[in-house]
Chain A
C-alpha cells in the first residue's frame, strides 16, 4: 500500500478535531495541580540529597512545633515504607539523591517548606557506585542487597539464532564498535500532582492524579494503605505530558498523599517542584552498546553479536520489561542468519531509569544505525546499498525467528531517499572543504514490534453506553496522555458502532468504573488497546439492530414501500424479524436492499430506554498468544511490526561544534491512519524529542547528583530550534491491529537521533559514539567536565 489516502472508512481514517483540543488550547482544561477542596492541606517531602547513606538520627521535634504543621513523618512511622516494587515511599537507607527521608503536612505550602527545613537529619555516608562499568567490577559497592553483583537479574535477556562463531570465522570482514547514550528527562510541561480525599463515611480513598496509568497508581495507593483495590479510586486528570514518566514517581507521590490524608483526616494535595520531578521521575536509561558484525564482500551481514547494558539507577521496575524489547530488537531491522546478543541492567546509585518514549529503541538505534553506516564505509559500500541488501523483506526470518509478512521497510525507505534527494546530497557533501560551516545528511531505518507482544499480556476491555438521546460514551481502562487516545477511541467506537464521530464522547479513566486494561504504554493504545473498543462497538451495533427490529421500527411495510418508491403491498411477502437483516451505519438503520427508508439511531435509543432494552456493551479482547523461548529469544514476539525511515539534514559549525538540525523527513508505515492529523502531531513531536536526544539533552550526574535539575539548565529544543519537518504517512494491508492500525507514538521518535548522528558524520567526518552531539563532543570528540 502506498501513502495514506486509499482506504475507505466512515469515522476513522479522518482528521477529526481532538475531543479535548478546545479545552486545552483555551486554557479551560483542569490539571491535578489546579484542584482544590474545602479543608485541603498540603504535603511535601524531604529528600536526602545524598547518593548512599544511612539515617543515623532524625529530629522532627522543631518542625512539629511550627505553626500550621499537622504531621511530620519519618520511615519509622510508616507501616510499609517500601512500595510493592523496589521504590521507597520513605526510607532511612538512602540509595540515591531523590530518596525521601521525611514527609510533612501543613495548612499551607509555605508551612510545609518551613517544616521540612526544620527537620534535622544526621547521616552516615556509605560507599556508592555510579558508573555501569565500575558497578560490574568485583567488589563494587552493592546498591540493592538482593543483587550482590549489581546485575538486575530479571532484566537479563538473550537472543540466540544460528551459529555466530562459525559465521564470524567465515566472514570476509569482522567489525566491532562501542556506543554510549545519556540520561534523558521527559521534561513534560506539567509536573506530577495528586490530591487525596478520604470519604468521611465509607473511608474510601479517592485520588485525583496526574497519572499516566491510573490502575498502576492505584496499586501504589492501595499498597501503602493496606486497602483492597475496591476501596481506592483513582480519577485521572488531564495530563500535561507524560511520555512514560508519570508512572513510578507519580505512584509514590499519590501514595504519600493518601497516607497523609488518612493520617491527618483532611484532603491532602502534593505536587512536585520541577527539581523534584527531575529527581524522582524516571529517566531514559543510558545504554552501553557493543556490536560486532561479520560481513561478506557482497555486503551481506552474516553474523551479529551484541552486548547491551543499561543503567537502572538505584531502584527499578522497568528494566526487565524494557530489556525484553531491547533484546527483541537487538539486531535491528535486518535479516541476519546468525545472531547472539545479551542484554542486562545494572544498578547504580543514580536516579532511576524507566519508561520513556521509545523504551530502549532510541538508544539501540543510535548505535545500530551508525554501526550500519560504519560497516558500509569500511567495506566500501554505500550505506544505502548496505541497508537495501540487509533490511528485512516479506518472507524473511526476524532475528527472533518469526517469518514476517507485510514488510514495508524497503518501500518506505526508497520513497524517503528519493524525496530527500539523499544519495546525491550525501555525495555532494563529501566534497565540502569549508572550515566554517558544513552540511550533512544522514538516514536511519527502524522497525518496532506493535503493542506488548510477548512482553506482557496485551488484553483490554471497553464499555460502550448509548444514551436515550443517541449520544454514546466510550469507556476504557487505557488513558489519554496527550497522544489523542480519547479522540482515536471515539473514532473507532463510532466506526464499529455505526454512528457519526460527533455522537461519541470519551472520558478519562475512573478506576471504579472499568476493569484494569493494563498500562497505556508501548504504543499499544490504538493498535491493540482499541481492539476491545472495536469489539464492543460491533457488539452494540448488533444489539441495537435487534432493538430496532424488536421495537417495531421495521414493522410497517407500507411505509418502507412508500419511502423506497415501491408499489403498495409489493413487500407483502417480506418481513423484518431479525436485526441481522439491518445495517446500522453513520447513525441510521436501514435495509440494504431498501435503503431509502432509514431510522435514526436516537429514535431507537429513545424508545429503547423506556422498553428496558440493552443499550450498552462490554467487550474484552485477548490477542493471539505470542510465545517466545526465554533462553534463546526465539518465537513470535508481536502480532506485527511498524516500519519507519528518517532522513535528517544538519549544518555543523566546524569552529564551535554547534549542530543546527535543518530538516528532518520522517516516514512511517502506520498500517491504517486512524486520525492522520494526530499521527502527524505525534511525528512532529517525536522529531523534536529525537533532536533533543541527539544534540543537546543530557541529565548531568556528578557522583549521583543531578547538576541540571530544572529547565533553565537542562537544555532541550525550543520552538526556535525545531527543524523544518516533512512527514510521510504510509498505510498497508496488514490487518493485525485495530482496523489495521499500527503503533506510531514511539516509532515517531526512535530513529531521529540516529539519523542526526549519521548526518553529523556526513558533515564532519566525526562519529558521535557518545551521545549527544553537543558543542564539545562535536569539536573535541569528548565532553568536558570540571571533575
Chain B
C-alpha cells in the first residue's frame, strides 16, 4: 500500500531540492484536484510516488504580473477562481478567464491551479486551449537551471508530459491579447462540473474589418495540443462571416482526421469540431452562427 510523506518547503529553492533529492518519487502538490483523485484510484503513473511537495506557500508561484513590453505572467499555483476573476486577465486574455471559469465546480476552481491544469497532461484541460492560442510559455525551474517551453511542447500524449522529475512549473508567460477578439467555447455533458468533450479557443485580430491574425486552438481534438495553421491561414485578409468560419471549421476537422486518423469517435467529433470552431470564431467576431 502506498505510503505518502507530506512536505511543505519554505522556499522555491527548498522545493527544488526536494524534487531533486526525491526525483521520481516526489510530486508537486498544488490544488490536489487531479493528484488526489489519481492517487485514490491507484493510477500506475503515480505508483512510485512517495512524497507530496506542497508548493502552495511559495510566493514565486502566485500572482499576476505585466511587464513594460506587454508580456504577462501568471504564477503556476494560481487558482482557476483567481484567474477567472483577474481584472488584468479579463482585459488581456478574456478567453482564458472564460476557460478558467468553466473548470469543474466552485470548489475545484478554488483549489485547482492553472499550472496543475497544464502539467497534468490532460488533453481536456480547459485552460490549455487559450494558453495554446496565446502562445504561452511555461517557465520550468530545477536545481539544474531554468528553461522556458511553449505550452503544447510539454505534451507527449494523453496524460503524459515532458517534464523532468525534478522540474517545477513556476510561471506561465504570454503576450497580451488585448488587441484580439477572443472566445472560448466548451461542450460538456452537462452545464457544470463537466469535462470538455471538446472545446475551442479562438482569437482574431481585426484591422479595418479584415482578419489580420487568427489563432485557433481546439481542445480534445489533437493527440498533442496545438494550433491549426492551415485553417488559420484561410482567414487572413478576409472579412469575418459565418460562411468563412464554417469553411475554417471544416479545415480544422480535416486536420484532426489527418493528425489522429479515423477513430471510433470520429463520426461524432468531425461534425462537432466543425461546429465548435465555427461557433468560437463567430463568437470572437461577434456575429451570428447562422446567416
Binding site for B on A (CB under 8 A): 110, 113-114, 117, 434-436, 655-658, 696, 712, 715-721, 774-776, 779-780, 784-787
Q: Could you tell me if B190 and A720 are in contact, using CB atoms closer than 8 angstroms?
A: yes
Asked whether any CB of chain A lies closer than 8 Å to the CB of B289, the reply is yes
Q: Could you tell me if B187 and A656 are in contact, using CB atoms closer than 8 angstroms?
A: yes
A787 to B263, CA, bound (A): 11
Nearest opposing residue in chain A for B2, CB measure:
A117
A717 to B264, CA, bound (A): 27
Q: Could you tell me if B190 and A655 are in contact, using CB atoms closer than 8 angstroms?
A: no
User: Which B residues between 257 and 289 are near A, CB-CB below 8 angstroms?
Assistant: 264-265, 267-268, 271-272, 274-276, 279, 289
Q: Could you tell me if A786 and B1 are in contact, using CB atoms closer than 8 angstroms?
A: no
Least Cβ–Cβ distance between A250 and chain B, in angstroms: 23
Q: Could you tell me if B1 and A776 are in contact, using CB atoms closer than 8 angstroms?
A: no
Q: Could you tell me if B189 and A775 are in contact, using CB atoms closer than 8 angstroms?
A: yes
Q: Given A775-B197, A784-B268, check contact A718 B189 (CB 8 Å).
A: no
Which A residues are in CB contact (< 8 Å) with B208?
none
A546 to B179, CA, bound (A): 88
Q: Could you tell me if A655 and B272 are in contact, using CB atoms closer than 8 angstroms?
A: yes
> A436-B290, A720-B191 are known contacts; what are 11 more A-B pairs with Cβ within 8 Å?
A114-B1, A657-B268, A658-B187, A715-B194, A717-B190, A718-B192, A719-B192, A721-B191, A780-B267, A780-B268, A784-B264
A696 to B194, CA, bound (A): 12
User: Which B residues between 177 and 199 are near A, CB-CB below 8 angstroms?
Assistant: 187, 189-194, 197
Q: Which of A434, A436, A719, A774 is B189 in contact with, Cβ under 8 Å? A: A774
Asked whether any CB of chain A lies closer than 8 Å to the CB of B37, the reply is yes
Least Cβ–Cβ distance between B172 and chain A, in angstroms: 26
Q: Which of B1, B37, B193, B276 is A656 in contact with, Cβ under 8 Å? A: B276
Q: List 16 interface pairs A-B (beta carbons < 8 Å), by A numbering.
A: A436-B289, A655-B272, A655-B275, A656-B276, A657-B268, A658-B187, A696-B190, A720-B191, A721-B192, A775-B187, A775-B189, A775-B197, A775-B268, A779-B268, A779-B272, A780-B267
Which A residues are in CB contact (< 8 Å) with B279?
655
Task: Determine the main DSSP class of A at the interface with B.
Answer: loop
Which A residues are in CB contact (< 8 Å) with B276?
656
A101 to B190, CA, bound (A): 37
Q: Given A113-B1, A717-B190, check contact A786 B264 (CB 8 Å).
A: yes
Q: Could you tell me if B193 and A696 are in contact, using CB atoms closer than 8 angstroms?
A: no
A114 to B274, CA, bound (A): 49
A779 to B272, CA, bound (A): 9
Q: Could you tell me if B272 and A656 are in contact, using CB atoms closer than 8 angstroms?
A: yes
Top 6 nearest A-B pairs (CB, nearest first) are A655-B275, A720-B192, A720-B191, A718-B192, A114-B1, A715-B189
A101 to B279, CA, bound (A): 52
Which B residues are in CB contact (< 8 Å) with A719?
192
Which B residues are in CB contact (< 8 Å) with A774?
189
A701 to B31, CA, bound (A): 32
Which A residues are in CB contact (< 8 Å) with B193?
718
Q: Could you tell me if A785 and B189 are in contact, using CB atoms closer than 8 angstroms?
A: no
A712 to B37, CA, bound (A): 10
Q: Could you tell me if A435 and B192 are in contact, using CB atoms closer than 8 angstroms?
A: no
Q: Could you tell me if B1 and A696 are in contact, using CB atoms closer than 8 angstroms?
A: no
A389 to B193, CA, bound (A): 45
Least Cβ–Cβ distance between B111 and chain A, in angstroms: 14
A716 to B189, CA, bound (A): 9
A14 to B265, CA, bound (A): 54
Which B residues are in CB contact (< 8 Å) with A712?
37
Q: Could you tell me if A696 and B189 are in contact, using CB atoms closer than 8 angstroms?
A: yes
Which B residues are in CB contact (< 8 Å) with A658?
187
A718 to B105, CA, bound (A): 10
Q: Which of B194, B264, B271 is A779 in contact with, Cβ under 8 Å? A: B271
Which A residues are in CB contact (< 8 Å) with B1?
110, 113-114, 117
Which B residues are in CB contact (< 8 Å) with A110?
1
User: Which B residues between 28 and 66 are near A, CB-CB below 8 angstroms?
Assistant: 37
A721 to B105, CA, bound (A): 13
For B37, B105, B265, B275, the residue with the greatest tally of chain A CB atoms inside 10 Å of its CB is B275
Least Cβ–Cβ distance between B218 and chain A, in angstroms: 14
Q: Given A655-B275, A712-B37, A779-B271, check contact A718 B264 (CB 8 Å).
A: no
Which A residues are in CB contact (< 8 Å) with B105?
718
